[in-house]
Structure 1
Amino acid sequence: MNFLFVYTLATLFSVVFAQRAAIGFPNDGTSVTAGSKLLVEIDRGNSLSASQEVAIVIGLQSCPSSACAAPSDIMGSILYNGPFAPKLQANATFKPPHQNFTVTIPSTIAKGKAQLGVVHVSLIGAGQAPFLETFNITLNVV
């Protein structure tokens, strides 16, 4: 009985972990210029389990002199809000399924530390259970 519980828990964990997304580009600590365009690559783990992507929200929070709030609390300026349809690219041999978004850094953002935050929403499994995650990197606005 105990083995079945552990197996079920491990299977559920692996299904959810495979659905996770991440910022593939830019790298944490990248310098960006206010008012410029920025390519943001969102990667999603390859999965054999059923999943349906719903949306991605990309936000930029300025926090030059204090700690940034978690993206689950504050997104800042919304740079993109819409569909997410990651695909494997033929010319990207070692990349997971991903989608690129070109966003504009607000020209009015303060110089210094900022946080690029992402909200990822999908439906996973045979029952289409909702899955929501947030993640972020730090940028330096120059």
Structure 2
Amino acid sequence: MLYYLFALAFLVASAFAQRCQITAPAEWSTVKAGSNITVELDRPMTLSSSQEVAIAIGFWPCNGPCNRTDVTQVLGTLAYRGAYDPQLNTTMNWKPPYENFTVTVPAHSVPGTEVSLNVAHFSLIGAGLMPFLETLNITLKIGS
């Protein structure tokens, strides 16, 4: 029984170690409809093997505050889909591997509202290449 608990804990820890993070823009930043923004995705270093497959980035308009809307199951208006290949920055040794993506905020976004920036991240982890999928999101404000 103890073995199964240890194995489960190891699998959970391995999965969390593969998670990426949205580090830019900052949550609650104000962006303009139709403007280009840089989305930075960091993926911390891991001890287990992993192979990045792809990401998708989208914008979902929140009808009211985003914290009252379940934005974890939608991407919304797709701004990017494709490869994700985070690299180390040789000039900033403290920074984890990352990749920047330039995406366009949907032009139909209404000033004064909130929009959820959503990311779906897919990778293969471990010696057996277990599929791993996660979704991330932050809330942005649409400015005029």
- The aligned residue for residue 26 of structure 1 is 25
- The aligned residue for residue 45 of structure 1 is 44
Q: Distance in 1 between matches of 2:7 and 2:92?
A: 34
Q: Distance in 2 between matches of 1:123 and 1:31?
A: 34
- The aligned residue for residue 95 of structure 2 is 95
Q: Distance in 2 between matches of 1:62 and 1:56?
A: 20
Shift of 1:64: 4.6
Is the CA contact (8 Å cut-off) linking 2:60 and 2:71 kept in structure 1?
no
Q: TM-score, normalised by structure 2?
A: 0.90
Residue identity opposite 1:59 in structure 2: G
Shift of 1:91: 1.9
Percent identical residues: 44
Residues 31-79 of structure 1: per-residue CA shift (max 9 Å, x gap): 001111100000112112111101000000111525333232x211101
- The aligned residue for residue 78 of structure 2 is 78
Q: How does 1:48-127 map to 2 (within 5 A)?
A: 48-66=47-65, 67-72=68-73, 74-111=74-111, 112-127=113-128
Is the CA contact (8 Å cut-off) linking 2:21 and 2:41 kept in structure 1?
yes
Q: Which runs of 5+ in 1 are unaligned?
A: none
Q: Distance in 2 between matches of 1:60 and 1:92?
A: 30
Q: Which runs of 5+ in 2 are unaligned?
A: none
Q: TM-score, normalised by structure 1?
A: 0.91
Q: Distance in 1 between matches of 2:89 and 2:29?
A: 24
SS in 2 for 1:60: strand
Residue identity opposite 2:14 in structure 1: V
**1:27–1:7 distance in 2 versus 1, CA, 3 Å:** same
Q: Distance in 1 between matches of 2:7 and 2:120?
A: 27
- Computed over aligned residues only, the root mean square deviation of the Cα atoms, in angstroms, reads 1.4
| Matched pairs, number | 140
Q: Distance in 2 between matches of 1:83 and 1:77?
A: 18
